[in-house]
Chain A
Amino acid sequence: MFVPLSYNVRSLLVRRATTLATAVGIALVVFVLASALMLAEGVEKTMGSAGRPEIAIVVRKGSTAEMGSSVEEHEVGLVKSMPGVKKVNGEPIGVGEVVVVASMEKLGANGITNVSIRGTSDASASFRPNVKVLEGRLPTPGADEAMVGMRISGRIKGLALGERFDIKKNRPVAIVGVFSDDGSAHESEVWLSADIVKSSFGREGAVSSVRVELESLASFEVFQAAVEKDKRLGLTAMRETDYFEKQSEGMSMFIRILGSIVAVCFAIGAMIGAAITMYASIAHRKREIGILRALGFSRLGILASFLFESVLLALFGGVMGAAAAFGMGAVEFSMLNMSSWSEMVFRFVLTPKILVTSLVASVAMGLLGGLLPAIRAARTSPLTAMRG
């Protein structure tokens, strides 16, 4: 019923150069598509993984990010005393922090970028159990000392262990430590005492957000109701995971859409390339196809055979593209995070789903690009075999 698959495989191998050139076109598309999806995944991972479900974050109603939010100093204690908050030795667990953005000079590349500076309380580090000091030590509370997240350490002028930067004119702060936080967005921040940040940026009397640890995952509803009941406070509570997910949503969506648009444009070119290759190959093999038809292979059998060949060709390209995208897993780069307007470092994260999507995309390109040529092949008259 069907032409043997080895016929198609070997026909592709015989035309090594054209096969390779066509496959590279498809590989490029798959590479672009997979890279964009991997980057979007990386953005979600970087930003989303900062959150823990048992933490609730409270910001000013109407603010979507810590950056634009302001919570009065006296409200911090109020929020921490709300029901649902975990207590240890009668003390509620929570931190009020101020987040600002400062422009700093990039190293290696020219230009200025924004860096998130988190004004922390004494409890900030212990509040996040994943925070580890990799080098140096924690800053001394109240001193002009800071620690820097591992992802921006060494990428920005003054932000490396033993160096110093000016938090405002003539107010140098020494970097005494480098920390990690299990890949979260905090790794792209600078941490120092809230008092210094507040006084340097003129934000006395207020913080940006309050985070509390909940008694249990289920206590969130009670806590949220209590926070939002008091209209005079004008505050809103979110689970930290939801908060970060929201932060990354816009950006990862943007990357996905942009990546897909670029990939679709490239795909049109690659499919035309595949179609041209298949047309040429079929024109060249007209006689062979005529012989198959004369021997009794049906039009459907011929159609299937050439569609298979084109899909195989595309899949070969797809595997190449996916392999190249896999290599992107080693690449890290920093760019402006559009929701906090600060520099963040992103990675390309490959997931099984992205791999499957890439290969499905290449198969689809093979089918679409190969359809018209395969139809032409299927129309070949058996009489073609007879003509000398």
Chain B
Amino acid sequence: MNEVSPAGEPLIRLRGITKEYTRGGETLRVLENLDLDVARGSFEALMGPSGSGKSTLLNLLAGLDAPTQGTVEVDGKRIDQMSEGKLASWRSNHVGFVFQSYNLLPVLTAVENVELPLLLTPVASSERRKRAETALRVVGLTDRMGHYPRQLSGGQEQRVAIARAIVNDPLLIVADEPTGDLDRASADDILRLLETLNRDLGKTIVIVTHDPAAAERARITHHLDKGKLRA
């Protein structure tokens, strides 16, 4: 789907990443001098104990946050020094997001939620609706387009979130514990769907998960412990 730049070049390249939070005069080092590559078209999982810095790492490579030190390069572009505004616009063009829960705006219908990222692009409104419908078809929710989030099950909500994450045809999809709130069967559905997106549409996917079954579906699993990647 996305053009392939020089073979072997990873889509994401993190070098010397340190992330610190200062709270009440105390500095908390969450990530320490960390290197990470994610290949194009890969499906990778981040695992590790609670508080080990998984979400922090995911936020950095998705352009939601900036590192204290180190460089974040995505598709050959340094994003660690972008301004707030630039970064927001970069995210809207390059990243699809799936969160653990409450992904959707409750007052918008499924299809309206999926359309949201397209509002930030020059796509015409009729075309927007068409693309949103296509994305919902991909996740198997054609019959739920006009439903509000409260009328959907947890699993269906995550599917709508996935449809929203792919509607812009992004380089990268990130998901922070996308199955954390789901029962086994719904979780497996979501994981299968992510796998399909990765295999058939060539999407690069990075997820954070506690679920070994989820990690198994990923091609590569990184283990994070106290801010460092375990080999």
Contacts and interface: CB of A to CB of B under 8 A. Distances in A.
Interface in A312-369: none
A10 interface: yes
B116 A386 contact: no
Contact of A11 (B89, B100, B107): B107
B88 interface: yes
Contact of A383 (B64, B84, B117): B64
A296 interface: yes
B119 A1 contact: yes
A296 B119 CA distance: 10
B152 interface: no
Interface of B: 55, 58-59, 64-65, 84-85, 88-93, 97, 99-108, 112, 116-117, 119-120, 164, 176, 180
A385 B88 CA distance: 14
A6 B103 contact: no
Given A295-B91, A297-B120, A10 B99 contact: no
Given A292-B116, A296-B91, A386-B64, A7 B105 contact: yes
Contacts of B100: 388
Contacts of B93: 296
Interface string A286-297: 011001111111
Contact of B105 (A1, A2, A291, A388): A291
Interface in A290-306: 291-299
Contacts of B58: 386
Determine chain A's interface SS by DSSP, over half rule.
helix
A382 interface: yes
A129 interface: no
B91 A294 contact: yes
B88 A293 contact: yes
A37 to B, nearest CB: 37
B91 A388 contact: no
Contact of B84 (A1, A2, A291, A299): A299
B88 A10 contact: no
B176 to A, nearest CB: 6
Contact of B89 (A6, A7, A14, A296): A296
B123 to A, nearest CB: 12
Contacts of B176: 386
A10 B65 contact: no
16 contacts: A1-B120, A4-B108, A4-B112, A7-B108, A287-B102, A292-B105, A293-B88, A294-B91, A295-B116, A296-B93, A297-B120, A299-B85, A299-B88, A388-B100, A388-B101, A388-B180
Nearest to A10: B107
Given A14-B107, A383-B65, A385-B99, 5 more contacts: A10-B107, A291-B97, A295-B164, A296-B90, A383-B59
10 pairs of A and B residues whose beta carbons are closest in the complex = A296-B92, A10-B107, A296-B91, A296-B88, A382-B64, A296-B120, A288-B105, A295-B117, A11-B107, A294-B97
B126 to A, nearest CB: 15
Nearest to B177: A388
Contacts of A298: 85, 88-89
A34 B101 CA distance: 48
A383 B224 CA distance: 20
Contacts of B107: 6-7, 10-11, 14
A292 B164 CA distance: 12
Contact of B117 (A7, A293, A296, A299): A296
A9 to B, nearest CB: 9
Contacts of B117: 295-296
A288 B91 contact: no
Contacts of A297: 88, 92, 120
A59 B107 CA distance: 70
Contacts of B88: 293, 296-299, 382
Contact of B119 (A4, A10, A382): A4
Which of A1, A287, A296, A298 has the most chain B CB within a 10 Å cutoff?
A: A296
Contact of B99 (A1, A11, A299, A386): A386
B92 A295 contact: yes
A10 B105 CA distance: 11
A297 B119 CA distance: 9
A10 B93 CA distance: 27
